[in-house]
């Protein structure tokens, strides 16, 4: 596959370098006299212009050729995979006579049975997709496109439309013949990109695709492309043709037609050009409707998983802030004051022998219920309740009557002592008086 990113040409190429013609791709058509594959550069096509074309000044084509160089990698990937973006302006004697573009990859072609002669390879363009009659596919021995395939193509069309609009590129020439699509994958490939304008382009006739809000001859803008891209998406999704795009809108699946995406498509057809939704908005709405990932949004169960690490207190804060809050201070408390920890453990011991067990229980029990119960026990340890127990175990402060009993003995002892002294004195006096 050839692409803008691997171009072997300078922005401007002399005709002599690409004049040697290989396979002929198309004859006189539209702006060109012929389209052929370069004999010296396989995979690259040379489109020779009719006199008077292109209509835009040469610098517009030069800017268009250089534009992908300033794009993001994501946008450049779309340019390479989904467009035949011009890579070089062909000149002869200083006059623009053609352009070099990449050849469409083989996956955008299919082999069909013909009424006369052998089967032949033809581009798989919108003509083969925008059909409602299964007989069309039967006579050509082609598989009938399914709903999933049509939705994939619609997404791809919107991606290309959004890319062009982001860079203010006006394509204008949307038609059944200019958009190829791939079976199965639903990728698309937009041809005739060399006629694009920047900000605006000359009016171009597109039967069944003309914007009703733009008078013939008026220059086209990205707002015109918004209408045509919406029409292309409707026809891709339904297979319905016609000058009026409303029958295709009515043919949408009821859920999709009633969705925000369906309403946005209706606005693309009916609203003034300045109110039309962009291709990027349509793409976002379509992906919202079709992407199965919204089903995974109720993935709130992962929030339940943090309950498992309840033993590792940091995670549970998402489920219940109160339990983990005490649990965190309980862990640091033992580190700074190891002695106070035994004291509270001793207090619960009279009530229940397994006070140490609560400390190990929260660590060993992963269930949130078990973790929350022990988490509350450390709270009393922080309330400094150990102080009162020390006072309660002081027998002297708890039984003041012990001191009153002693005080009652003091007078009696004093009297006894005094009596003994008196007796001693009397005995001394008596002994002194006796001869």
Q: What is the pLDDT along the chain (435 residues), one digit of tens a residue?
A: 799 999 999 999 999 999 999 999 999 988 899 999 999 999 999 999 999 898 899 999 999 999 999 999 999 999 999 999 999 999 999 999 999 999 999 999 999 988 788 888 999 999 999 999 999 999 999 999 999 999 999 999 999 999 999 999 999 999 999 999 999 999 999 999 999 999 999 999 999 999 999 999 999 999 999 999 999 999 999 999 999 999 999 999 999 999 999 999 999 999 999 999 999 999 999 999 987 554 444 444 444 444 444 444 343 344 344 444 444 444 444 444 444 444 444 444 444 444 444 444 333 344 333 334 444 444 444 444 444 444 333 333 444 444 445 455 656 677 877 878 878 777 777 677 765
Q: Which domain holds residue 22?
A: 1-103
Same domain for 130 and 170, yes or no, is yes
Same domain for 99 and 154, yes or no, is no
Residue 312 lies in a domain: no
Of 293, 317, 344, the residue at which a domain comes to its end is: 293
Q: Roughly what angle, to the nearest 10 degrees, separates helices 260-270 and 279-290?
A: 150
Residue 298 lies in a domain: no
Q: Give the separation between CA 387 and CA 370, rounded to whole angstroms.
A: 29
pLDDT of residue 1: 76
Same domain for 82 and 140, yes or no, is no
**Pairing status of strand 95-102 against strand 120-123:** unpaired
Domain of 84, CATH number, reads 3.30.200
Residue 273 lies in a domain: yes
Domain of 155, CATH number, reads 1.10.510.10
Same domain for 124 and 267, yes or no, is yes
Same domain for 1 and 83, yes or no, is yes
Same domain for 218 and 180, yes or no, is yes
Q: What stretch of H or E contains 92? A: strand 88-92
Residue 151 lies in a domain: yes
Question: pTM to 2 decimals?
Answer: 0.68
Residue 401 lies in a domain: no
Q: What stretch of H or E contains 312? A: none
Same domain for 212 and 283, yes or no, is yes
Same domain for 157 and 279, yes or no, is yes
**Hey, which residues does 112 pair with through a beta bridge?**
120
> With contact defined as beta carbons under 8 Å apart, do 184 and 124 qualify?
no
Distance set, CA 116 to CA 25, 112, 127 (Å): 21, 11, 20
Total domains present in the chain:
2
Give which of 35, 50, 21 is closest to 177, Cα–Cα: 35
Of 293, 309, 329, the residue at which a domain comes to its end is: 293
Same domain for 39 and 137, yes or no, is no
Q: Give the separation between CA 264 and CA 231, rounded to whole angstroms.
A: 12
Same domain for 43 and 74, yes or no, is yes
Same domain for 113 and 249, yes or no, is yes
Residue 143 lies in a domain: yes
Same domain for 110 and 194, yes or no, is yes
pLDDT of residue 409: 63
Residue 378 lies in a domain: no
Residue 213 lies in a domain: yes
Of 49, 81, 103, the residue at which a domain comes to its end is: 103
Q: Give the separation between CA 396 and CA 409, rounded to whole angstroms.
A: 18
**Pairing status of strand 109-112 against strand 188-190:** unpaired
pLDDT of residue 299: 43
The first and second tokens of residue 162, run together, are 């959004």
The first and second tokens of residue 275, run together, are 């109110």
């Amino acid at each position: 596959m050839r692409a803008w990113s691997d171009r072997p040409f300078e922005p401007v190429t002399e005709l002599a370098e690409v004049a040697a013609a290989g396979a002929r791709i198309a004859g006189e058509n539209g702006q060109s006299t012929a389209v052929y594959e370069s004999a010296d550069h396989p995979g690259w096509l040379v489109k020779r212009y009719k006199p008077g074309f292109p209509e835009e000044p040469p610098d517009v084509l030069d800017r268009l050729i250089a534009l992908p160089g300033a794009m993001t990698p994501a946008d450049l990937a779309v340019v390479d995979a989904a467009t035949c973006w011009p890579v070089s302006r062909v000149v002869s004697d200083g006059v623009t006579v053609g352009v070099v573009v990449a050849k469409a990859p083989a996956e955008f072609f299919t082999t069909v049975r013909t009424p006369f002669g052998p089967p032949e390879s033809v581009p798989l363009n919108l003509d083969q997709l925008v059909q409602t009659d299964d007989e069309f596919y039967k006579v050509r021995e082609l598989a009938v496109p399914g709903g999933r395939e049509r939705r994939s193509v619609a997404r791809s069309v919107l991606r290309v439309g959004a890319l062009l609009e982001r860079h203010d590129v006006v394509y204008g020439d949307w038609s059944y013949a200019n958009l190829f699509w791939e079976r199965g994958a639903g990728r698309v490939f937009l041809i005739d990109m060399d006629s694009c304008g920047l900000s605006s382009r000359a009016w171009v006739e597109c039967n069944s695709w003309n914007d009703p809000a733009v008078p013939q001859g008026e220059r086209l803008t990205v707002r015109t492309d918004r209408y045509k891209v919406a029409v292309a998406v409707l026809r891709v999704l339904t297979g319905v043709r016609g000058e009026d795009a409303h029958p295709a809108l009515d043919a949408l699946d009821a859920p999709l037609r009633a969705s925000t995406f369906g309403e946005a498509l209706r606005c693309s057809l009916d609203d003034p050009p300045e109110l039309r939704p962009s291709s990027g908005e349509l793409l976002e709405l379509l992906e919202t409707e079709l992407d199965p990932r919204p089903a995974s949004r109720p993935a709130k169960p992962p929030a339940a998983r943090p309950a498992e690490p309840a033993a590792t207190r940091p995670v549970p804060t998402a489920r219940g802030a109160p339990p983990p809050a005490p649990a965190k201070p309980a862990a640091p408390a033992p580190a700074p004051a190891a002695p106070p920890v035994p004291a509270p453990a001793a207090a619960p011991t009279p009530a229940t022998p397994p006070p140490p067990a609560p400390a190990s229980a929260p660590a060993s029990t992963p269930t949130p219920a078990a973790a929350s119960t022990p988490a509350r026990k450390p709270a009393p340890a922080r309330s400094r309740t150990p102080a009162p127990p020390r006072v309660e175990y002081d027998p002297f402060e708890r039984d003041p009557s012990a001191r009153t009993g002693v005080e009652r003995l003091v007078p009696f002892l004093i009297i006894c002592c005094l009596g003994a002294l008196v007796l001693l004195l009397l005995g001394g006096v008596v002994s002194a008086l006796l001869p």
